Amino acid sequence: MKLLLFGGTFDPPHKGHISLLKNAIAAVQPDKVLVIPAADPPHKAAAQTSGQLRFAMCECFLSVDARVALDDMEIKRGGKSYTYDTVCALRKKWPDAQIFMIMGSDMLLYFKKWYRYEDLLHMVTLVCQNRAPQDVPQVYRFRKQLEEEGADILLCENAILEISSTEIRSLYAQGQNIGALVPADVEQIINKNRLYKAQSIKESTEI
């Protein structure tokens, strides 16, 4: 079984995430896709929005493909959401699965700083997409380095939308319209719960 994993803070999920997911599904042709929102991401500031609301916003991914499902294992686990721990749990549940993991090029370039990245390299196939054209040369160089350490990396050449959750939170806090950047159901949850109105906007590498 091919299992495609899409993790992230998703604060909020946006159309760039959806583009990334669609491209990865087309490249991998998985049997099952799991979208797993993080509790406390180790590589960035903690999410300002509750796990419950971020999980609810992630329902926007269900319409992408019938194989997509949501999993709240990291939110339930709490604390720092290390991908290594999540992959171990998935391998225990599906011992025969081949696990693919979606990431943008910015996260690939940061990968050697991930918790137990050397072990992860032998546990998953990385499915990477370039966020920006200027990333391409560096991504190819870094891909070669990781492959020399045993990594299996699938590069998707499809263009993705250059949108960041940080940008969306900032725009919304300034009273600007974000309807073109997020799915309608995500915008409804943001409006209903008055998210991002009075919080400080922090730098993030989330895509």
Assess if residue 116 is contained within a domain. yes
Assess if residue 182 is contained within a domain. no
Q: Please say whether the beta carbons of 15 and 161 come within 8 A.
A: yes
Q: When comparing pLDDT for 47 and 115, which is higher?
A: 115
pLDDT surpassing 70 at residue 204: no
pLDDT surpassing 60 at residue 10: yes
Give 116-166 pLDDT, tens digit per residue. 999 999 999 999 987 666 677 888 899 999 999 999 999 987 767 788 999
Give 67-95 pLDDT, tens digit per residue. 999 999 999 999 999 999 999 999 999 99
Assess if residue 194 is contained within a domain. no
Residue 70 lies in domain? 2-162
Assess if residue 39 is contained within a domain. yes
Assess if residue 195 is contained within a domain. no
Assess if residue 155 is contained within a domain. yes
The rounded distance, in Å, linking the Cα atoms of 151 and 33 is 21
Assess if residue 200 is contained within a domain. no
pLDDT confidence of residue 138 = 87
Domain count, the chain: 1
CATH of the domain at 104: 3.40.50.620
The alpha helices in the chain, defined as continuous H runs, are 15-28, 51-57, 73-77, 83-93, 105-109, 117-121, 136-148, 165-173, 184-193
Residue 113: both structure tokens together: 């700083």
DSSP-derived pairing of the beta strands 32-37 and 2-8: parallel
Assess if residue 168 is contained within a domain. no
